[in-house]
Amino acid sequence: MLDALCGNKNVKRILIFLFVNNKGYGTQLHRCLGVPLTPLQKALTRLEKGGVIASHYEGKTKLYQFNQTYPLIEELQQLLKKAYTLLPAQEKKNYYLIKETPEHFSLSPLESIRVLLSFWDKLQKVSHLTFKAKTNSKEENGWNGQGKGEVVITKEAPNILIFQEKGVWNGKPGTELNFSNSFRWTLDRTAGVISLEHLRRGITFPVFLFHLAPSGKNSLASVDSHLCEGDTYFGQIFFDHYGLRLSWRVIGPKKNEEIDYHYS
């Protein structure tokens, strides 16, 4: 869709990648998109000279992100969101950057199961949550704010946990609303994944979100993107002795959200 407008497939790929991940660097783009580094660097230079993106250094790494002073930045991001929602599901996943740990590539099947069971053990001990939501959309119904609450866990079976979450959500300044959520976590040792479902329609009509598989010694990542009424869901989990952090990314016709859950 964007090839004709961009005049270059690598320019299109870079723009969509930055839209999904907010920032990135050359070798990261090279690994994620499977495109040779040299043409990517040329395309990055072209975009930066045109004022569409800007760069800065974090240590020795040169990072690129959208130039927020670019006159057509809002229109460009709306176009990119539309283009992204029209991509095939598998291609959408290619643009989502999994934050890999150094040991990601060396996990053996046995180590993967250990990670899965270690996470499952910590999941059963959760009792509190805090979360922050940030929207990158100009839609009025975008999520911006933070919340906190308690989690009551029901163990339906040795491999099934129901999270009943209740608390307070602070959105617009001066507003405070009560919220409640219900999620189902299911451990599948044979497949080596944990599935997450939202039970907003009731326990007999779950909304599947994604399967999570070990991506490092202390992390899991969504195996594939999930489409729900045009919205694409991705997720990653990081855990340590302090608790669990579940990061969501939701992109759709009316959504462009990042949500961070912290369970303890």
- Whose tokens are 């240590």? That residue is 59
Q: Which residues pair with 164 in a beta bridge?
A: 152, 182
Tell me, what's the pLDDT at 73? 87
Tell me, what's the pLDDT at 123? 95
In CATH, 108-263 is 3.20.20.70: no
Q: Where in the chain is the domain with CATH 2.40.128.20?
A: 108-263
Q: Report whether 2 contacts 76 (CB < 8 A).
A: no
Tell me, what's the pLDDT at 113? 92
Tell me, what's the pLDDT at 134? 83
Tell me, what's the pLDDT at 200? 85
Tell me, what's the pLDDT at 133? 86
Q: Which residues pair with 251 in a beta bridge?
A: 232, 256
Q: Mean pLDDT per segment of 10 residues, for the chain of length 264 residues?
A: 67 88 85 86 92 90 90 86 77 66 62 93 95 74 83 95 94 82 94 90 85 88 67 84 87 79 94
Tell me, what's the pLDDT at 149? 96
Tell me, what's the pLDDT at 97? 63
Q: What is the pTM of this model?
A: 0.71
Neighbouring C-beta atoms of residue 167, cutoff 10 Å:
18
| Burial of 151 per CB tally in 10 Å (0-12, 13-18, 19+) | middle
Backbone angles phi, psi at 187, to 5 degrees: -90, 125
Tell me, what's the pLDDT at 58? 86
Q: What type of residue sits at position 118?
A: S
Q: What is the dihedral sign for C-alpha 200, 206, 208, 211?
A: positive
Q: Where in the chain is the domain with CATH 1.10.10.10?
A: 3-95
What is each CA distance from 64 to 23, 44, 71, 223, in whole angstroms?
A: 5, 8, 18, 27
**Count of CA atoms in the C-beta half-sphere (13 A) of 242:** 3
Tell me, what's the pLDDT at 104? 44
* ∠ Cα 140 196 103 (to 5°): 105
Give the percent of the chain with pLDDT over 90. 33
For 106-206, strand residue ranges (E) read 128-135, 145-157, 160-170, 177-188, 193-198
Tell me, what's the pLDDT at 103? 42
Q: Which option is the CATH number for 3-95: 1.10.10.10, 3.40.640.10, 3.40.50.2000, 1.20.58.1910?
A: 1.10.10.10
